Structure formats: C-alpha cells, structure tokens
Amino acid sequence: MSQGERFLEWLEALKGKRAWTPARAALRRSLAFPPGAYPKAMPYVEPFVREEGWKREAHYLVAALYALKDGAHQKGRTLARALREKAQESDSVEKRFLALLDADRDQIAFRLRQAVGLVGEGLDFARLLDDLLGWFSPERRVQARWAREFYGTEASEEEKEKEVEA
C-alpha cells in the first residue's frame, strides 16, 4: 500500500465521522495559507504526518484539496487526465496545465488549487499525494507522466519501470 493510499484511508475515516464538517471547513480554509501553516487544520493532518519539509506540506495540500472536493475520491482519475477532459472545453486549460508542470515550491499550492478547482467530479487523491511526494525529484518523472496523460500518449515500458523503481 502506497503512502498516498494510507493517507487516503485516513482522510476517508475522517470523512466518515461527525467531525467531518468542521474538519472540511478548516482544511478548505487552510488553502489560504502556506501548507501546514494554518493551526486549525493541524488536528486533522498532523497525527498522520511523520515527515518534515515538502513531504509534510504535500500531506496538508492534498488534505485541503480533498476537503475542497468534499472527499470526492475517484480511483484512477488523475489530475492530468481530469484536466485533459476539461481541455476539450477550454483552450486556457492547457496553459494552466503547463504552468502547473513548471511550478516551483512557492507556486505549486496555488497552481494545484486552481487546477483542482477547474475539474468537476472526483480525483484520485491517493495518487495525487504519491505524485506530489516525487514532484521535486531531479528526473521530473512525475511531470513527464502527467504530460503523457494530458496529451494522451503512453509511456514506454522502460519509462514505466524507472518510475516504479523511483
């Protein structure tokens, strides 16, 4: 089970409790702050997180985006594929997608929020967290896979093996 899948289980359990309404509000509100900097969101993420730096921030970001979509998890529907669907309706989606692929650490929270806000229905939040955990790898394999998904091309077997190994 990947880290993203374990975190999704955590979020799904949280969604199933009475405390989901205030948790959802706090997590949504946290999108106005740098990831992990809004104290009211901490009770809902911090018990799960064991890491510092970008990995901690990625958990906060995915939790907030999950709350933004009201927990609409859809296994296998990656953000790149959802944006591809949306790009059929609007030419500006591709520009936003390319800006997202080029996002640095200061920009990624804002650009992800914009991208997630564009797409209807649910997303695969477990995959999103797994992808964000590898986002700043020097090989940029996540961004390459997202580009292939957006433009509808398949990765070679060698590329798939490299990503699994990473």
Q: Is 140 left (phi over 0), alpha (psi -120 to 50) or beta?
A: left
Read off the pLDDT of each residue in 44-62 and give the average, rounded to a whole number. Answer: 94
Tell me the per-residue pLDDT of 94-135, one tens digit each, with 9 for 90 and over.
999 999 999 999 999 999 999 999 998 899 999 999 999 999
- pLDDT given at position 162: 60
Q: Are 23 and 14 in contact (CB under 8 A)?
A: yes
Mean pLDDT, the chain, rounded, equals 91
What is the domain partition of the chain in residue ranges?
Answer: 3-165
pLDDT above 90 (res 155): no
Tokens of 72: 């609409």
Question: Is residue 123 helix, strand or coil?
Answer: strand
- How far apart CA 8 and CA 92 sit, in angstroms, is 30
Give 164's pLDDT tier (boundaries 50, 70, 90). low
Tokens of 118: 């564009």
- How far apart CA 80 and CA 74 sit, in angstroms, is 13
Radius of gyration of the chain (CA): 15
Tell me the per-residue pLDDT of 72-98, one tens digit each, with 9 for 90 and over.
999 999 999 999 999 988 889 999 999
- pLDDT given at position 163: 60
The structure's pTM equals 0.89
- pLDDT given at position 91: 85
Roughly what angle, to the nearest 10 degrees, separates helices 54-68 and 125-133?
160
Topology of domain 3-165, CATH: Peroxidase; domain 1 (1.10.520)
